[in-house]
Amino acid sequence: MAGARLIKWGSSIRRIWPLFPAAAYLMAFLILILVYLVRLGFSSPSGNGFPTLSSVQQVFQNDAFHSAFVNTLLFVVVGTPLELCTGLILVLILYKSFRFRSFVRGLFLIPLAIPALATAIVLYILFDFPGGHINDMLMGKYVWLPALIHTPIDWRGSKLLSLGIALFGKVWRDMPISMLILMSGINAIDTELFDAAKTMGAGYRQRLRYIILPLLLPACTTVVLLRSIEMWKEFIFPFVLAGRYSLLGTLIESLYNYWGQSQEAAVVALVLVVCIVVTALVFLTIMDYLRRRVARGGWHGQTI
């Protein structure tokens, strides 16, 4: 028994051995950054005292931090499901056979080829105030659309609108990643399952509910984890489109570069790391619960 177990462990190590150099590099880099952040965040502004909680207290008493944390949390809670649902809808559209499907698939990959900063600048121009193209269009300055408003909208002057535009840009820019992950998951489903379901009289909705969605749970888990991490640490779109309404990523940049408060910036960065880890654990727990429920047949409570 012990020999068989050793052989099994040896086989597993041989399969993952090529990943060790990359994993060691990433872990070393991560440890160095965390050590530096802890050292900086728990030091006094004068650099003489360590450890000290003075910077931590200042951060948690700062209204700018409270606002940035709430804004980032909303960004994650709203943006992560949006990216998952958008990717899932695109995959379900592209999974059906139709003419020019490859061409349409290529169109959906265009956002990924455009730099995020370029996308943010284009949105900035479109939603500029007062003379942005969106305002011009809504005010009827184009002959093909009647006037819907009489005064221009200050898109970036409103917290809800500016963060909404930033979230729209983020979801549009990253939707190909979610689509590709989910597409690889749906392509891995055995087509014989669909043939058997059709033979038993199952329609498209039944196949979607009882076959596609349960078997896509691993791919959905990957999308949720990666997109939630990206949402927590998002910087470019909020910085360009909602500069006056900080997220944690933009607040770190302001504290470090503009306000010269490097200790507080390090504390906020540590808070961001903790939020990412906690969110990942919560989502993994939820997706594992759904997987076990599907395995027990509790997804639908009935057979096709």
Return the number of other C-beta atoms located less than 10 Å from residue 143's C-beta.
Answer: 6
CA distance 217 to 294: 9
pLDDT tier for residue 204 given thresholds of 50, 70 and 90: confident
pLDDT tier for residue 302 given thresholds of 50, 70 and 90: very low
Token pair 């490097």 in the structure block, residue: 262
CA distance 155 to 149: 14
CA distance 143 to 140: 7
Nearest to 168, CA basis, from 223, 235, 238: 238
Quote the CATH superfamily of domain 62-295. Answer: MetI-like (1.10.3720.10)
Report yes or no: 240 and 226 within 8 Å, Cβ to Cβ.
no
**Phi and psi, residue 140, nearest 5°:** 80, 25
Report yes or no: 109 and 176 within 8 Å, Cβ to Cβ.
yes
Tell me what pLDDT residue 190 has: 79
Look at 282 and 214; give whichever has higher pLDDT: 282
Angle at CA of residue 54, ends 49 and 56, nearest 5°:
120
Domain ranges of the chain: 62-295
Q: What value does the mean pLDDT take over residues 84-102?
A: 85
% of residues, the chain, pLDDT over 70:
90
pLDDT tier for residue 252 given thresholds of 50, 70 and 90: very high
Tell me what pLDDT residue 77 has: 92
Question: 33: alpha, beta or left, given left = phi > 0 and alpha = psi -120 to 50?
Answer: alpha
